[in-house]
Amino acid sequence: MEYKNTLYEKSEGIATITINRPKALNALNEETVLELLARLKDAKKDENVKVVVITGAGDKAFSAGADLKMMKGAGAVKGMHLSQVGQKLTTEIEKLEKPVIAAINGYALGGGLELSMACDLRIASENAKLGQPEINVGLIPGWGGTQRLPRFVGKAIAKEMIFTGKMIDAKTAERLGLLNKVVPANELNSTVTELANELMNKPPIGLELAKQLIHNSTETDLRVGLTHEAEAFGILASTEDFKEGVTAFLEKRKPEYKGK
């Protein structure tokens, strides 16, 4: 595959995927979404990759959403396919066994916000602005926004954001639970790297099972969710990493996890 719209860097266990169309505020056309899917596939297969970071090039935008030039005059079938390809991307992020952090360095709008909501953790710079402005061009969110946004902020705020298309600032998004943390722009990279390094020292199977259980918690009833939690707990109790964790605790040293 020829990569034109994304960058990919792997360094010390962290794979960073950068949407690289800064002149178009990192708008996501279909080719870019397919590139992101391919980058994720690589990060999934590469055993050396422990944490994935997704960000946007430049200092203005994470992503201003689906590329409106691509959407223009789409028609029903193309429109449905464009929605499906973005939904595939967000689903693959949620299914990935490794933690995914969104580093939001400016606008996260429409499909950009939807992409970030599929990530496990969202760290944003103070200048970030988040919104679902699709209504302003006669659309609704098509990459999961009507489903994931209310799960973060509740139906009332989700309706307000989707009905009005208005953006919210980073501090408001943090207060609403949409962002994990807001930092000055010049501290975004270091904060994300610090968080990624912290996660890299955790037992990978524990992170994977916790991620799956938390995603499934909104898809299942409490009894079934608790049953799955007990099963996962049992699986973890049989891992070498659990043995190492407890031994390290008792020996008053740092554990070294192997993902086994």
Binding site for ligand CAA (CB under 6 A): 24-25, 27, 64-69, 86, 107, 109-111, 114, 133-134, 137, 139, 141-143, 145
Q: Which is nearer to ligand CAA, 86 or 206 (CB)?
A: 86
Contact 84, 49 (CB under 8 A): no
Cα separation, 47 vs 13, in Å, equals 9
Cα separation, 103 vs 118, in Å, equals 13
Give the ranges where the chain is alpha helix by DSSP (H): 30-45, 68-71, 75-95, 111-118, 145-153, 155-164, 170-175, 188-200, 204-216, 222-237, 240-250
The residue annotated as part of the active site, out of 9, 114, 229, 256, is 114
The residue annotated as part of the active site, out of 134, 160, 174, 244, is 134
Q: Which is nearer to ligand CAA, 110 or 245 (CB)?
A: 110
* Phi, psi at 35, each rounded to 5°: -65, -45
Residue 247 CB, shortest distance to ligand CAA, in Å, is: 48
Cα separation, 251 vs 144, in Å, equals 47
Structure tokens at 87: 């939904």
Residue 172 CB, shortest distance to ligand CAA, in Å, is: 17
Structure tokens at 17: 């995927």
Residue 147 CB, shortest distance to ligand CAA, in Å, is: 11
Q: Which is nearer to ligand CAA, 35 or 67 (CB)?
A: 67
Q: Is 187 a catalytic residue?
A: no
Residue 71 CB, shortest distance to ligand CAA, in Å, is: 6
Q: Which is nearer to ligand CAA, 111 or 203 (CB)?
A: 111
Q: Is 114 a catalytic residue?
A: yes
Q: Which residues are annotated as catalytic?
A: 114, 134
